[in-house]
Every structure is written in C-alpha cells, then in structure tokens.
Amino acid sequence: MIRFLVSAALFLAAAAIGLLVANAVLDDFSVTAASFVWVVVIFALLQAVLAPFFLKTTRKNAPALVGATGLIATYVALIATNVLTDGLSISGLTTWLLAGIIVWLATMLAAFLLPLVFVKKAVDRRQA
C-alpha cells in the first residue's frame, strides 16, 4: 500500500512538473493557480488510464505506433482536461502541438528522475 501511494504521489508530481514547464515555456498555455491541483489530478488520472489503453490497442492493431502511445495519451489527456476544467487553457495550433510534446517530455523526465532523487535521499537518511 505504501509503495502504491508513493508511486501515485510521484506520478502526480511528474504530471505537475510537465504542466508547469509547458505553462512557463508557452505563452498560449495557462493553468490557473486556483485550479492547479484539480487540473493536475484530472490530467494525471486521464493519462494513467489512457496510456495502458492506447498501448494495448496499438500493440494489437498498429504495432508501429507502440512507441508513440505516451505522446498520444498526453495529447488526449490534455484535450480532455481542457474540456473538463476551466483551469487549463490552450489556444492555437502551434501551442497545442508544442504543449503535448513539452508536457510529455517533462513528465517523462520527471517520472524518471524523481524516484532517483527520493531513493537517494532515503538511502542517505538510512546511512546517517
């Protein structure tokens, strides 16, 4: 149970970082401070549900697209979050294209690096 909660917290943190990076880099991408937590939770839940679905579907029907499932899930999660909440605003085709790539890359890097940082801190505390 603890491992699941830690994984969920890291996944939420990675999603938050991805959205924050896109918010900082793109002018026509904005997440309101008042609804930031809600936007992150909705986006992360959608991405967590959609990624395995797209992976299974593409593996079965279009194996060449398996590598793009994370990016596809990110775009669909951004679209759905934009529709479902008032806290996320994305306008312009270029912003949409860049937002998906930036959020996907930043989330992927954060999901890879955050556990390393926290594991190192936990190991350091145990050794002290």
Contact 46/76 with Cβ under 8 angstroms? yes
**What residues does 30 pair with on adjacent strands?**
89
CB 91 within 8 A of CB 28: yes
Residues 2-40 have pLDDT tens digits of 778 888 889 999 999 999 999 999 999 999 999 999 999
Backbone phi and psi for residue 101, each to the nearest 5 degrees, phi listed first: -70, -45
Model confidence pLDDT, tens digit, residues 79-103:
999 999 999 999 999 999 999 999 9
